[in-house]
Structure 1
């Protein structure tokens, strides 16, 4: 009888335990981290996650075409377009002609947009530092390498997928 009971229990065991499933766990981590960051730039500056990603990208690269922001921020083109329109209406970014390709415009931060970037960036880095503080320096280095490998592998598994997750 004990073996029949054990067989029945095995048959009813879940195939996937969500809380142990790596993609789910990574998504939870990304969501929690993103929510912590969103509190900073949403409450203080009224920025959405996509808008913050556009500002950070322009702060990092000085100017970019909108089509180049989508892959950098892992966002859909329509999400980038809405964020760009909102930021432009608020006077945080400007469009300039691309002298190398007249079919597109380059986006750049205005002085007001740069001030927001410079105000929020140190706070975002502080959140990152607090998150990573539970790891040793060696673990931090290892984690960065692991994330790079997993990101490359995930891109190869779904090369044409555009997602909208995280900060």
Structure 2
């Protein structure tokens, strides 16, 4: 018989569980307050920060697959929260940007997101938050080094 993995101390598993829990809690809030899914929020957030992005760039930034990005973008365009325009640099792609309505939604969601983060980290000392951010940066860099190249 082989040794058990020990999921409670296996970092990739714990990261996945914590990520899913945090996403589920915040998704419920975003759905109730703003009628958007977590994938839609991620699109709005990265476009809100960047100004204009291709769907491919959104996928790369959020680590969402092409279909998830597409399913998130479509209702945002229909609700006139996102605008789509031709990409002069790549005729096969387009650029997405927030409309005025989308920018107002982004401005409304940011304080809610910050409040959620503050509640979640309320029991952490500032040094613990800094150490957590450093650890996350290092884990992300380590995972990126191990990532298999994608077929394009």
Aligned-pair Cα RMSD in Å: 1.7
Question: What does residue 91 of structure 1 align with?
Answer: 80
Alignment partner for residue 126 of structure 1, among 110, 115, 121?
Answer: 115
Q: Which residue number in structure 1 is paired with residue 24 of structure 2?
A: 35
Residues 84-136 of structure 1: CA deviation (Å, up to 9, x unaligned): 11211111111122233333221011111111111111111111112222221
Runs of 4+ in 1 over 6 A off after TM superposition: none
The structure-2 alpha-carbon separation of the partners of 1:110 and 1:84, relative to structure 1 and needing over 3 Å to count, comes to: same
Query: Higher RCO, 1 or 2 (CA under 8 Å, sep at least 6)?
Result: 1
- The CA deviation at 1:80 is 0.6
Larger Rg: 1
Q: How many residues align?
A: 150
- Is the contact between residue 40 and residue 120 of structure 1 (CA under 8 Å) also seen in structure 2? no
Match for 2:137 among 144, 148, 151?
A: 148
- Structure 2 runs not aligned, ≥5 long: none
TM-score by length of 2: 0.90
Contact 1:58 1:107 in 2 (8 A): yes
Aligned to 1:113: 102
Residue 74 (structure 2) pairs with residue 82 (structure 1): no
Superposed displacement of residue 156, structure 1: 1.7
What is the DSSP-based 3-state SS (H/G/I as helix, E as strand, rest coil) of the residue aligned with 2:84? strand
Find the counterpart in structure 1 of residue 48 from structure 2: 59
Structure 1 length-normalised TM: 0.82
- Structure 1 unaligned segments of length 5 or more: list them: 1-10, 162-167
C-alpha separation in 1, matches of 2:7 and 2:89: 49
Between the aligned partners of 1:93 and 1:37, the Cα distance in structure 2 is 21
